[in-house]
Structure 1
Amino acid sequence: MPSIQLRIFKMTMTTPLKEWSEETILSMIKDRVQESLELDYKECPAIFPLTEGKKKELSKDVSAFANSAGGIIIYGIKENGHIPTEIDTEFDPNALSKERLEQIINSIIHPRINELLIKQIELVTTSPGHVLYVVSIPQATTRAPHQATDKRYYKRFNFESVAMEDYEIRDILRRATTPDLHFHFYLGGQDTVPIQFSQDQPFSEEVDMIIAVENRAEEPASYAVMDVFIDSALKLSNSADLAMTNNVFLTLKDEKISFTHLSKNWSIPSKLPIFKETNFRITDIPIKLAIPKDHADSEVIYYMCVWQIRSPGMINNGSFAFVLKDSYLTVAKP
């Protein structure tokens, strides 16, 4: 994979929020991870001291993420041209605690955002005794849309929170009546597996790749069109009842990349409806995956993967990477 694509992946891949640390933030600054629809940087004065005017802006920003695709706001980072430049060290947890911030957010946005998470990160090396806050906001579904303190509804657009049009509000209201399907990818039922290479074989020993689908909405899915694109550098076999097409090219970040395309139509009565909080494997047996032998000695390699699921009333898509490092393959989740 070209180095530019590797860098894009390093910039877009994130660890689970509970594992974020000061090192995570410093890495984002070093890699110049740009703001996006799903990422925003705010300096400390954006919410501290927390005046009524700042509470209004806080409600606009957080509700806009929920009403859009969800995402993360990091309070305590300075940026220039949407690129992070340094940590802002003004937050004193004794003056504004994580619990207080969470309480305020829950009181100024209606209805309350379920599953909103806040991570308080200690600035152990940058500024001992000080912190910054990472706010993880899920995309609103059953309780959408969310209203700010000025009684308006906002969305993310061009790095900003802007008021929504009437038709956009109506579209979000329909989220509660449509499925919300997402993929999960596992290696032998885990996130990480060892890779074994043989001297006389062009590929590694095969490992199991499991693809599961989850519905996060109340409305069950009776029909879905599923597409998964796996980096062509990986050898796939035993694709079971998935249709497989090799050397499918997609253009991402202005770069044409080759993928192996796996597809499937899910429908009743041959398959059960996909109900909320269920997790179905999309194949009865695992897909087999192998790594090229000439990648065995590489320091780290990223294999790009993208997916899309369509069901009546919804289209979801996403990306992730398989990461080969020290003879272990990991599912790097966004």
Structure 2
Amino acid sequence: MIYGIEEDKAAGKPSKVDDGVVDPKITKEWIEQILNSKVQPRMDSVRIERIDMETGKFGYVITVQQSQIGPHQAPDGKYYKRFNFQSVPMHDYEIRDIMRRSTTPNLDVTLSLPQGKKCQLEFPPHQELSKPVLLGVTVSNKSPTPAYHTIVEVFVDDILQVPFSTQFTQAGAAKDPLGRKFRIYRWTLSSPPGLPIFQGANHESHFGQMPLQFHSSLLHSSIIYLETDVRAPGVSKHEKWAFHSDGGILTLHDPNSHFVRTA
């Protein structure tokens, strides 16, 4: 949220920078106090920055991180959500859903290559399959509610080979709406005997690896698709990923990449 920018109400877009605030009582501390006294429960991780307009006046930028303890009630006793260019009251089922989320884990699966998001494919002499590339699979939790029993699945494009076993075991096959074939590999994390997945705690036991081999036909301008699925009591999340192979350089694209969004 930016204070100091005039808005075109019809278009719902910024129109120009206004004159800013000159009242000396309006400070970062004053804004923080207002937010803390008017919004219940109090919002965590609110960052307030003062912008010098170089006219003796100031604007303010307020950044609010995604909340794990919502929903948050306005002074009028209602709960609001953003709908296009308006703030509208939430329905009962929406409020209940957000409250449920605050008491369940919020799990993420992140994929990685040995060097981050890129690596060089290497082929043994006279072989059509590459040396194994170790795909890293990290499970994390954004919620203060720990996950004690978690199932992680990686959907591997049928064109790839998985030459040996790690934490993952093959658990079936699937097709996506476009008819692409996948093999499903599953990893189960349970506490006990393992550790729960706590918020912000990246323990080594929550990191797995899967070996993948690429055929030489995939060396140039190839896109290979992957999917991840994570489930725990009260939570389920499915995401799409992709490899782009070009000239032997393998690049991993996350769910926000255009390679994935346009698939």
Q: If the TM-score is normalised by the length of the shorter chain, which range does it land in?
A: 0.5 to 0.7
Point out the more displaced range, 168-177 or 147-156.
147-156
1:261 deviates by 0.7
Query: TM-score, with normalisation over the residues of structure 1?
Result: 0.55
Q: 1:237 aligns with which of 155, 160, 163?
A: 163
1:265 deviates by 2.3
Point out the more displaced range, 165-174 or 206-215.
165-174
Q: 2:153 aligns with which of 227, 235, 248?
A: 227
The aligned amino acid for 1:256 is G
Structure 1 residues 206 and 275: alpha-carbon distance in aligned structure 2, compared to 1, 3 A threshold = same
Q: Deviations over 1:120-161 (max 9, x none)?
A: xxxxxxxxxxxxxxx9986432x3114568764345779987
Write the mapping of 1:2-21 to structure 2, written as runs, cut at 5 A.
Answer: none
Query: TM-score, with normalisation over the residues of structure 2?
Result: 0.68
Q: Deviations over 1:261-284 (max 9, x none)?
A: 111222121211111111245677
Match of 1:174 in 2: 100
2:118 maps to 1:192: yes
> Partner of 1:294: helix, strand, or coil?
helix
Q: Which runs of 5+ in 2 are unaligned?
A: 21-27, 50-61, 257-263
2:194 maps to 1:271: yes
Tell me the matched-pair count: 227
Match of 1:305 in 2: 226
Match of 1:328 in 2: 249
Structure 1 residues 266 and 115: alpha-carbon distance in aligned structure 2, compared to 1, 3 A threshold = farther
Write the mapping of 1:18-37 to structure 2, written as runs, cut at 5 A.
Answer: none
Contact 1:192–1:329 (8 Å) recurs in 2: yes
Q: 2:235 aligns with which of 295, 310, 314?
A: 314
Structure 1 residues 157 and 247: alpha-carbon distance in aligned structure 2, compared to 1, 3 A threshold = farther
> Partner of 1:169: helix, strand, or coil?
helix
Structure 1 residues 216 and 193: alpha-carbon distance in aligned structure 2, compared to 1, 3 A threshold = same
The separation in 2 between residues aligned to 1:231 and 1:149, in whole angstroms, is: 51
> Partner of 1:237: helix, strand, or coil?
coil
Contact 1:212–1:280 (8 Å) recurs in 2: no
1:214 deviates by 0.5
1:172 deviates by 1.0
Contact 1:187–1:209 (8 Å) recurs in 2: yes
The separation in 2 between residues aligned to 1:316 and 1:247, in whole angstroms, is: 18
Contact 2:139–2:206 (8 Å) recurs in 1: no
The separation in 1 between residues aligned to 2:105 and 2:215, in whole angstroms, is: 38
The separation in 2 between residues aligned to 1:115 and 1:309, in whole angstroms, is: 29
The separation in 1 between residues aligned to 2:127 and 2:19, in whole angstroms, is: 61
The aligned amino acid for 2:239 is G
Contact 2:79–2:89 (8 Å) recurs in 1: yes
Structure 1 residues 154 and 285: alpha-carbon distance in aligned structure 2, compared to 1, 3 A threshold = closer
Q: Which runs of 5+ in 1 are unaligned?
A: 1-46, 59-74, 77-89, 97-101, 119-134
The aligned amino acid for 1:192 is K
Contact 2:150–2:232 (8 Å) recurs in 1: yes
Match of 2:182 in 1: 259
Q: Deviations over 1:40-76 (max 9, x none)?
A: xxxxxxx95248x79xx98xxxxxxxxxxxxxxxx67
Structure 1 residues 167 and 310: alpha-carbon distance in aligned structure 2, compared to 1, 3 A threshold = same
2:134 maps to 1:205: no
Q: Deviations over 1:199-224 (max 9, x none)?
A: 62222222111111111111111111
The aligned amino acid for 1:205 is K
| Rg larger in structure | 2
Contact 1:211–1:282 (8 Å) recurs in 2: no
What's the C-alpha RMSD, in Å, of the aligned pairs?
A: 4.1
Contact 1:154–1:163 (8 Å) recurs in 2: yes
Q: 2:6 aligns with which of 49, 53, 56?
A: 49
The aligned amino acid for 1:236 is V
Identity %: 27
Structure 1 residues 270 and 234: alpha-carbon distance in aligned structure 2, compared to 1, 3 A threshold = same
